[in-house]
Chains A and B, each alone.
Chain A
Amino acid sequence: QKEVEQNSGPLSVPEGAIASLNCTYSDRVSQSFFWYRQYSGKSPELIMSIYSNGDKEDGRFTAQLNKASQYVSLLIRDSQPSDSATYLCAVNSYGQNFVFGPGTRLSVLP
């Protein structure tokens, strides 16, 4: 059974701080990793994808991947109240379905 684990939160950070969201996965052959943001009552939207070990930056977001540790994280710099949402980690192996984690609820306090 392939699993993706996330701390359910809520994770509360003050406005302007760095929010750090973590995800671990069980399938060692996983190749693709994604972070989605889901606002309450809305469908998930893609934030970042990462395929290689290391960091990938896009604006205020940085995804970090460590395949040896089976760990992927998302850092949000200069957090804003509008970043308050549930963040979903998703993992995929080529030709197989995606496995989503349960999500971490982030609350950015003004």
Chain B
Amino acid sequence: GAGVSQSPSNKVTEKGKDVELRCDPISGHTALYWYRQRLGQGLEFLIYFQGNSAPDKSGLPSDRFSAERTGESVSTLTIQRTQQEDSAVYLCASSPVGTGEQFFGPGTRLTVL
């Protein structure tokens, strides 16, 4: 079946612009996660959804970051007034209920000039 998809695959933007990143999870997966991975670094947790509610937003680095999810489907991560330190790969993962096993999308590489 289809895996997790993310769009765009690459995004280059200018400092101060807003960007929107999209994630389509595997059908039927109730949990959805967003991570940030800077070059050569580990995964940094941002937010996770159980259905369309977000029980844990503790990882969002600032109020410029927000995310929403429609039901148990697509999620968008929005970064407002982008800064150069936002440059990273943004990874989305989804997980079926009960297992915690996450399946990752290919990521969106964000470059802020």
Q: In whole Å, how far is A53's beta carbon from the nearest beta carbon of chain B?
A: 17
Whether A13 is near chain B, meaning CB under 8 Å from some CB there, is no
B58 close to A100 (CB less than 8 A): no
B33 interface neighbour in A45, A49, A98, A101, Cβ under 8 Å: A98
The answer to whether A98 and B45 touch (CB under 8 A), given A43-B91, A43-B107, is yes
Least distance between B50 CB and chain A CB atoms (Å): 8
Contact of A98 among B41, B102, B107 (CB under 8 A): B102
Chain B interface size, under 10 / 10 to 19 / 20 to 34 / 35 or more: 20 to 34
Instruction: Name the distance in Å between B32's Cβ and chain A's nearest Cβ.
Output: 12
Total interface residues in chain A, CB < 8 Å: 20
**B43-97 interface (Cβ within 8 A of A):** 43, 45, 48, 55-56, 58-59, 91
A–B complex contacts, Cβ < 8 Å, 28 sampled:
A32-B100, A34-B102, A42-B106, A43-B91, A43-B106, A44-B91, A45-B104, A46-B102, A46-B103, A49-B99, A49-B100, A88-B43, A90-B102, A96-B56, A97-B33, A97-B45, A97-B48, A97-B56, A97-B58, A97-B59, A98-B33, A98-B100, A98-B102, A99-B45, A100-B35, A100-B43, A100-B45, A102-B41
